[in-house]
Structure 1
Amino acid sequence: MDDASKAGIPHDILLMSRDELLLSVRVYNSLEDFAIDSVAELVSQTEADLLKGSGFGNKSLEEVKTVLRSLHPDLRLGMTLPEEICRKMWPRESGLPSDLQRHGIVIQGGHFVYASGRHGSTYINKDAIYARPWLVEGFARQIAKSLRWRARSVKVVAASAPTGAILASWVTDQLMRRRQGREFFSVYAEKVGEALEFRRGYDALIRGAQVLILDDVMTTGMTVEKLVNAVEASDGMVAAIAILISRGDANRSFCIKRFGPDRCTIFPYTLHHVPMKSWDHDDCQLCRDHVPINMDVRKGREYLAKKGSGS
């Protein structure tokens, strides 16, 4: 029996690159009961045989420990993390991936009226994502890969209808491909009044299960908040949250709102951050600059109709 087996750590964790191992530390409770020092020592003992060519290959034990301890001096895997540490763990993306712009998912340099009534120059068109299944599959693969260690305990993937149901199915498929022999369920919540609820027998699948919550575009975090409430109302446990696109610091704002300014226990993993400045309609810089309102998406046409009628 090798050192990994003796320690009870999954053998393939040792094949991860430095960045991947750090990501598994960042993601919720990835290795659960094992201290960082134990992982670092095991990495050192086995790097010659198991880590050849990986990010650990040219780092000493002390260098590895320094990197891991930089997250928090006495951090143990699986503990609750201070919000300030979470913020360091998930730095913003620099620039936007070309796919988001090329396919019209992120539209910049316009004048848009959002559902909230605020105005802005950037719009996220999530319908453009779902019109291209290969993009949805690619995003789903990224989520499944990034959360694969936390997915060891996940049983159910949940999102909100209608588009979230598509995303949940794709992510569930990717998790099943990576965990052959494991059964996962894909469910969606429906709007009931101002809340979201799991119906159609989905609440029974969630009961007692670890749940991965998904959202395609996080703006204020309200949808994710309602999904968390719906999972808990069905007696499920939220294991992780993943977001395709976050407007600015929406994921961080959600974390602070849900868990308080000093602690965040489930920090949403986000594929892409899109900085978006917005204004109240009566203090809109774009209106003052006479930039035409886009009437093809969101509330532009409705806003102009109300403005024209004087209401």
Structure 2
Amino acid sequence: LRDKLPGLAWLSQILTAFSAKRPLPPWQRRWFQPTELAVTPIGERPVLLFVDTFSRYFEPENLRSAQRVLSAAGFTPFAPLPDQRSTKPLCCGRTHLSVGNVVRARDTAQRLVETYAPYAAAGIPIVGLEPSCLLALKDEIPALLNTQDAQQVAKMVLTFEELLLTEKTALCLKPLQAKALLHGHCHQKAFGVMRPVQEVLGMIEGLEVETIETSCCGMAGAFGYGAETFDISMQMAEARLLPAIRGADAQTYVIADGTSCRSQIKDGAAREAVHVVRLLDQQLIKD
């Protein structure tokens, strides 16, 4: 309703400090349910799929695509549940940390690490879709908790694309005669994991990929939603990212792994960007 009823967006800006100039991401009615994945490892090549909050509630189809792609590659994805003290889904705690709520962030991260640690100790890879959340397991969380379990979990973290390249996969993909613009998330650039993204896209025969040379898209989580920071956010996007996308024809795919990056592209260029996993899912040769 906030973005549909006249005047409600401006009222919400007064109450929440979220800019009325930008729509909020819609919650999905068919959000990703815990029952959609096994909760314990099965098969010869189990992989722990980190179901982040953004994918769970806003873009669940990315997770469903990940299930299909991982299965097609010979993996059996699962997502363990936390202990029975709380039914609240697992979260990395990054959103708490970004606003200075260190105590809440530590508690949230500890809960996740306690759940993942036994599987990390067993040598099971941990993968995820949202770069900022997944890579928090390698960076912020070990520093925040300073425990052996957190370090062990960090060692087993791989991006989705890294997993597909480091393991012997059996992905059969249809050729695609098309062009694609690729935008890298800041965390992907900082951790040097853009090359695996490019290499995985190279598995699609005929796809011509151009990486947009940009810095931050300008969203930076909630930064782009703030009433006081919205204009700065758009200025950052207008430096290179949005002009490059507007200059592409309508048939060109726009690929961005970051949730906030895709929101910025949609709001600023009226184009739907997709996660790599969605394109892989689209091109799977299904039996």
Q: Does the pair score TM above 0.5?
A: no
Scaled by the length of structure 2, the TM-score of the pair is: 0.35
Scaled by the length of structure 1, the TM-score of the pair is: 0.33
Structure number with higher strand proportion: 1
Compare CA radii of gyration and give the structure with the larger one.
1
